[in-house]
Structure 1
């Protein structure tokens, strides 16, 4: 019972954080206006910055990223089945397509990333690993490697969640630092801890499966 409550509380927290960020994105960029967002304000303060077409690419990146964030959450929280359902396959295809598109858009945005080359390398690394993890997950399921598919999807979603952690880290870091100092740090903090947590989750799952296998073998004997 305690294990169930702990798991339920963790899941609830993840859902709340994801939906808070999604709500912020919808309100800020959909109703208030992108030009009033903190990041865009910094961009507009630079005389050599061109608002268009950057803003349209940003919108495309945000929309596709939010689709991936929502679908990935649904996929992870759905009860696992031995046989993949038609819905799971369709949602998975939309998830992968959203990431590929969002990743392509992010390549353009990275060129204009604030914070110089440190930020650019950070976001390029995120982009490359994000697409690699997602396509590797697709490759594993095509080869009927279900466990490996699930592991790579955990990695993929950890990087998808970088859009959420970025918006958590940035305001926190801007308490002691200026934006130009904080943003290069965020370019790495947004996803590196996520990846490490994903590896911890995967390792923990593997140990749990191994223990269950050993216990089942002992019972049979």
Structure 2
């Protein structure tokens, strides 16, 4: 595994590229989400597209904020020299997670792949929020090591959308598997892979305790 500094650089590049890509696709290239909506067939309830698009836009914006704010707060420089900013940014991350969960909850009943994926998204939203709240509770108790571990677990889920679509594209475009089936495998595969990735990072890259305790 790469060292913490190198891993941070890798995450920075991946996060920045993904945020630029998400903004471009959702607000410039396909603001009506025609490509994505074309895969939503056999819905059990009518989809109000204008409302769905507005909720989707809010979802994308806060998902991007969560990804960037979470990344910033893993910076050793920010932790060491800008504790107040670290604390405020941490609460921005929490608010962003809540907004992503709320908007995802609205869109879950219209999930590609049907009820099976709707349930998965709702469960993921609950787990993600619980992890994030747990991280904040731990730092308020001055449990810095536990705080960092729970933040790593929480932050891993910022890559949910990216991971789902990578798996979906791999299966659908690479092997010709039906899009809805590929998407379902992507959803459940992501739910399994991201927590495993977080634990690997915790047990290999961040084995040593943080240099300082963050004052809350």
Instruction: Evaluate the alpha carbon distance shift between residue 121 and residue 45 of structure 1 in structure 2; reply closer, same or farther with a 3 A threshold.
Output: closer
Unpaired runs of at least 5, structure 2: 210-216
Q: Does 1:64 align with 2:66?
A: no
Give the superposition deviation at 1:193. Answer: 0.7
2:36 aligns to what?
39
RMSD of aligned Cα (Å): 2.6
Give the superposition deviation at 1:158. Answer: 0.5
TM-superposition CA deviations, 1:120-151 (whole Å, max 9, x none):
12212211111010011111111111111111
Structure of greater relative contact order (alpha carbons < 8 Å, 6+ residues apart)? 2
- Check whether the contact 1:130–1:160 (CA below 8 A) recurs between aligned residues: no
Instruction: Evaluate the alpha carbon distance shift between residue 194 and residue 38 of structure 1 in structure 2; reply closer, same or farther with a 3 A threshold.
Output: same
Correspondent of 1:16 among 13, 17, 20: 13
| TM-score normalised over the length of structure 2 | 0.84
C-alpha distance in structure 2 between counterparts of 1:188 and 1:34, whole Å: 27
The runs of at least 4 aligned residues of structure 1 exceeding 6 Å deviation read 44-47
2:22 aligns to what?
25
1:212 aligns to what?
none
Structure with greater helix percent: 1
Aligned residues: 206
| TM-score normalised over the length of structure 1 | 0.82
Instruction: Evaluate the alpha carbon distance shift between residue 129 and residue 103 of structure 1 in structure 2; reply closer, same or farther with a 3 A threshold.
Output: same
Where do residues 1-221 of structure 1 align in structure 2 (5 Å cutoff)?
7-36=4-33, 38-43=35-40, 48-79=46-77, 81=79, 85-175=83-173, 176=175, 177-204=177-204, 207-208=207-208
